[in-house]
Amino acid sequence: MTELHYRSFVEPDDLAVDECTIKVCLTDNGVRYWHMWARVRQADGQPLVFCVPIAPNVVGPSNGPGGNTWGLCRSGLNRWQIAPSINVLETEEIHQGHHPSGRSKWHQTPALVEVPDLERWQLGGAP
């Protein structure tokens, strides 16, 4: 299983490989939601930065203000689990789970580790 080391109050450009952060995002209509930024290593060894909308304390996928949204639930001490898998396609499109025709650059179901307690996004509700 892939682990992403969580970092608080970091800009996506400052993430190292296998790190992530969670930030607030705004829709064009001003609706706020959470999204997770991550920097990972593709199969060819090149780094890849991506972002997905998340719903903390929600099991599995949903449809939120940012579109298709991944669930993020506590799975242990300082550990949170994304569901379903994140599939970054060669087209740069990000898909939930398996894609029947697209080739993947990175396809994992990561756990976020080293997450401190009382991060604002853990408390539930809108950002």
How far apart CA 13 and CA 77 sit, in angstroms, is: 27
How many domains does one find in the chain? 1
pLDDT at 125 over 80: no
The boundaries of the domain holding residue 30 are 3-123
So what's the pLDDT on residue 124?
A: 74
Contacts of 112 by beta carbon, 8 Å cutoff, 6+ apart: 3, 4, 5, 6, 20, 36, 72, 79, 80, 81, 82
H helices present in 45-108, as ranges: none
Count of positions (residues) in the chain: 127
User: Average pLDDT, stretch 105-110?
Assistant: 95
pLDDT at 39 over 80: yes
